A = this chain, B = another copy of it.
Amino acid sequence: MHFEFYNPTRLVFGIGNLSKIGEITKKYGSKALIVTGGGSVKRAGIFDRVVTSLHEAGVRFAECSGVEPNPRIDTVKRGAEIARIEQCDVVIALGGGSTMDAAKVMAAALYYDGDPWDMIHDGKKDPYIPQKALPIITVPTLAATGSEMNAYAVITNPKTKVKSFVGAECLYPKVALVDPELTVSVPKKHTAYGICDLITHVTESYFNGVDHTPIQDRFAEGVILAAMEWGPKALADGHDLQARTQVQWASIVALNGWVSAGTNGAFPVHTIEHTLSAYHDIPHAAGLAVVNPAWMRFAARKRPEKFVQFARRIFGIEVKGPEDIAGALQGIDAFEAFLQRIGCPTRFSDLQIDGTLIPQYAKDTLQVVHDENGNLPGRPPMTEADIITVLQSAL
């Protein structure tokens, strides 16, 4: 274990917290850029509550609405331009992962004269690492990406069909204002996607990390077990606040660095999925639900131990020692069945996507991220042929 950990985001967590947005924002600026998505925060009355709270605190605002599910670089530019013209000095991201990701990059783009796409890891040798951003306050309305408490954002370039990430310390939100009550109106499908997304964040470092991280293993398993226990309750009754609370908390710790600290894990499943959603504009987690079980079966055959542990600790499967591939595969089957049970697609056919472009996905994925041998980092590292094999097994 050899690593650095740093996460200065202040988390304010609890039901009813939304009303604090004005008082919190006031500490960081006097005019906010409120970034929102497709309009659900307006329909649910959340936007109006934010505006009222800001007004009471004497904070003015401008608005950038319409951030799309796979947020595009042009939307980032549009938001940064609004912030510039309106002279905003703080950014409020009010929405799901896409809205938060776009808002983060807008906050940094304001201080960058070049094309903000320069910041995105799309295979270029030296992406520009932003050094400065407006203060960011995240208010998630969906439990999924954990973007509210981390320094990452994922942006899509529809022209080049590349979807990839930027990570920089200046992108850490100053405050993550998390009110699980805001998620009660999230439809079943997106609740399920959120559950899949958060679990996949955890499985990446769990399966791709270095050996000997017993505490991180337990942390990861704890998040998965909680998501599998409380996720279905949130699906059965969207207004179950206890369930919404647990799922939201799980989504935050899944990607705020606590689970992955010291694992130095790669994100092969995410990297492959980003190519899929860049091509087909599918929900990120729908793609993850298809890729992850297929990837797990591939990786388990190469290195069964961790998958055996997963089968045993998550699903209580009685395995026969650390090399029991059949036991490992039984665990993966149980995981895929869970995803199906909560309503996630697990095959390309569920997404109405055929296999025609699979070789192209593999090629594009490696163009965006590869190690010095040209392979996709992870355990094991994947060749172009490996990626094709995995994706074809998910048809």
Contact = CB atoms under 8 A, between A and B. Distances in A.
Interface in A91-147: none
A8 interface: yes
Contacts of A253: 215
Nearest to A216: B222
Question: Which bracket fits the contact residues of A?
Answer: 35 or more
A1 B249 contact: yes
A15 interface: yes
Nearest to A242: B212
Nearest to A212: B242
A36 to B, nearest CB: 25
Residue among A11, A212, A225 with the highest chain B CB neighbour number at 10 A: A11
Most B CB atoms within 10 A — which of A5, A221, A245? Answer: A5
B222 A214 contact: yes
Given A2-B14, A11-B4, A13-B3, A218 B214 contact: no
B217 A222 contact: yes
Interface string A277-293: 00000000000000000
Contacts of A7: 7-8
A229 interface: yes
Nearest to A3: B13
Contacts of A15: 2
A222 B226 contact: no
A12 B262 CA distance: 10
Interface in A1-39: 1-15
Given A5-B13, A11-B6, A14-B1, A229 B214 contact: yes
A299 interface: no
Interface of A: 1-15, 212, 214-215, 217-219, 221-223, 225-226, 229-230, 242, 245-246, 249-250, 253, 258, 261-262
| 10 nearest CB pairs, A to B | A218-B222, A2-B14, A8-B8, A5-B11, A6-B10, A214-B226, A215-B226, A215-B222, A258-B258, A4-B12
13 contacts: A2-B14, A2-B15, A3-B13, A4-B12, A5-B13, A11-B261, A214-B246, A215-B249, A215-B253, A217-B222, A218-B218, A218-B226, A219-B219
Given A1-B14, A218-B221, 16 more contacts: A1-B245, A1-B249, A2-B15, A3-B11, A5-B10, A5-B11, A7-B7, A7-B8, A212-B242, A215-B222, A215-B246, A217-B222, A218-B219, A221-B222, A249-B262, A258-B258
